[in-house]
Amino acid sequence: MDKKIETLRKELKNGKLEPFITNITFPHFKNFQERTSIDFTFPITAIVGENGSSKSSILHALYGAPENKNISDFWFSTAIDPIVESEKRNCYFYRYYNQDAQKQVEILLQRSPYRKGGGDPDYWESSRPVKEYGMSPFPKKKKGESNVPGGSATRWNMLKKNVEHIDFRSSLPAFDKFFYHYTYSTKDIKTKKKVIRRRSKHLKNAIQNNLTHDTYYSNKNRIKDCNEELDSHTVSLISSILGKEYSNIHLIRHSYYGPDAYTAQLQTDHLNYTEAFAGSGEFSIVNLVYTINKSPKNSLILLDEPEVSLHPGAQEKLVKYLYNIALANKHQIIIATHSPAFIRYLPDDAIKVLATNKLTNKTILKSQRSMPEEAFFQLGEFSKQCLTIVVEDQLAEEFVKNSLKRYSEAIRNIVETKYYPGGVATLWSYYIPVCASDSRNDIVFILDGDMRPKSKIPSSDQIPIADETKIEDYIKILANNNAAKIPIDGGNTDQKKEAMIKNGKKLIDWSKNNVFYLPGSSCPEGLLWHLYDPQTCPENVNTDNAKKHFECYTRRKLKVLPEDHLSSDDIFADQKRLIAEIELDNDYIQEIDNIIDSIIARLSSNGSVTK
């Protein structure tokens, strides 16, 4: 995937994806914190957040960005859900490269007030730039010009780009729309079954004869803009994503059952069926691939929760399809998702994590770039149904797993170990502070021995009031000089200072109970080398020396020449074997066991699980 990422970046840099939306900013919009701004620096972007974090609202705003599109298709005022305007109207602006102006320009869209004498109460229109929102001023016309190149006399021209919005929660096939969601003359199921039996004959005739017109039981054409057999390439893509071999797929948009919707007829070597008997994931993928494949090049593709009804394997294959289609057709693709599968293969700057400001209850963007692991945490990848032990790397995880072998299957089934790329710097900069802030006592960290604080840290109630302003210094010692970010929401200077002290104390106390260290004073490689050969390896061996030692050791064992490649998997296989051979009564192993014992005690304190 790295090669595709690099190629997509080059295509974007070389202007192949233009016109491309590079930013969207919300000065006053729904429940977003004022001036929330999202940059788009990669052709595929994932917007991540818990339910109610306004992911769909961002897609709706992007849908309304191009010329002849309007956000009011999704967001409009009703009696029960009125859009209440304050002194400042709901608005947002976006940036794109304007070819005529030869530069990035900003387009402001805002909800217009009710017009005198009536009019559309949900009308949105482009407006001249507003300096208060942080927008650049519009240039003055040159003498003799009627308009500024790329704009009018007062504002820039809107983006001209095809947009496709697919909401997988509401993209229902014709059968489901009628049978489960449509009020016919009666809600009686028997009556609906009779209607489907009667009208499906005409639907079958339309499919078999590729009809473009049929006014059965209506004075309007029942067949809409699609009645076609999908080409072999499209069928192959759908088969690959779903892991099922289709020989033929026919798609028709119609209103035979009443609602305007699609029917997909799917054929394998053994079966021929429509969405009435297909899984919802099958129909959603047929709809997605068909829609994207027929979209003009350089389209804006908006996908709202495409993981719905798809198993993880299909989700991963769908991501690969999106990479390929973005490369082939130069699309800009933006996904609102809860699925780790869509995040795992994206670069950091393509992952946008939304959260709620606890002081204002407003939606904020945590950062313009987030590692996949940060998004995993936001999505609840740390399971609350078990105890999670987080370590720095693969070898540290093996030490913990080796100790867990002493426990019963009941214990092992509710304890999981994890490590994430980025090591201790990532853990202290994000995971540990967030876990402390959320009081997550179902998560503990076992860090390497060389990360143990150099001096003792007092508990929060032992910190003198006069030293509370030095709370960041205490945290720095606690994190062994790694950058630990104390979670602080917005507010004035005094509020931030108060939050720094309060959250810093909470981090100190939580860490005392939830952060442990492997024995010794070196990395896991150093610890293992010392256990394997204590005569030649000191306890605090240098990390690079320890890793080099095991590389040489494995080369000797496997007789790999110095000029030949040696994989990390080969080295790790040797290290695993050595860990398994260590005597159980070894002092260091006993120390690891004691750490695990104290952690497991959280689960076994009520006597429900035993070793």
Output the six-digit token pair for 309: 């009804």
Q: What is the Cα–Cα distance from 43 to 520, expressed in whole angstroms?
A: 46
Name the residue among 458, 435, 580, 569 with its Cα closest to residue 514: 435
Name the residue among 385, 408, 440, 402 with its Cα closest to residue 595: 402
CB-count burial class (<10 Å; 0-12, 13-18, 19+) for 412: middle
DSSP 290-352: HHHHHSPTT-EEEEE-TTTT--HHHHHHHHHHHHHHHHHH--EEEEEE--HHHHTTS-GGGEE
Question: Mean pLDDT in the chain?
Answer: 86
Q: Report the DSSP pairing between strands 443-447 and 163-167.
A: unpaired
Q: From residue 101, how far is each of 135, 148, 553 by CA, in Å?
A: 16, 8, 63
Q: What is the Cα–Cα distance from 455 to 581, expressed in whole angstroms?
A: 34
Residue corresponding to tokens 């990422």? 5
Name the residue among 413, 561, 437 with its Cα closest to residue 505: 437
Contact 375, 47 (CB under 8 A): no
For residue 29, the Cα-to-chain-centroid distance in whole angstroms is 22
Name the residue among 43, 563, 483 with its Cα closest to residue 299: 43
Name the CA radius of gyration of the chain, rounded: 30
- Stretches where the chain sits below pLDDT 70 are 86, 113-121, 169-170, 183-187, 275, 278-279, 373-374, 377-385, 421, 487-492, 602-611
DSSP state of 140: P
Q: What is the Cα–Cα distance from 4 to 7, expressed in whole angstroms?
A: 5
Global confidence as pTM: 0.68
Contacts 24+ apart (CB under 8 A), 289-292: 289/234, 289/237, 289/238, 289/241, 289/321, 290/230, 290/234, 290/251, 291/164, 291/166, 292/164, 292/325, 292/331
Give the pLDDT of residue 611.
45
Instruction: Give the three-class secondary structure for 100.
Output: coil
Over the stretch 223-263, which tens digit does the pLDDT of each residue have?
998 999 999 999 999 999 998 899 999 999 999 888 899 99
Name the residue among 554, 549, 551 with its Cα closest to residue 530: 549
Supply φ then ψ for residue 515, to 5 degrees: -115, 120
Supply φ then ψ for residue 169, to 5 degrees: -80, -20
Contact 444, 514 (CB under 8 A): yes
Name the residue among 400, 595, 425, 600 with its Cα closest to residue 515: 595
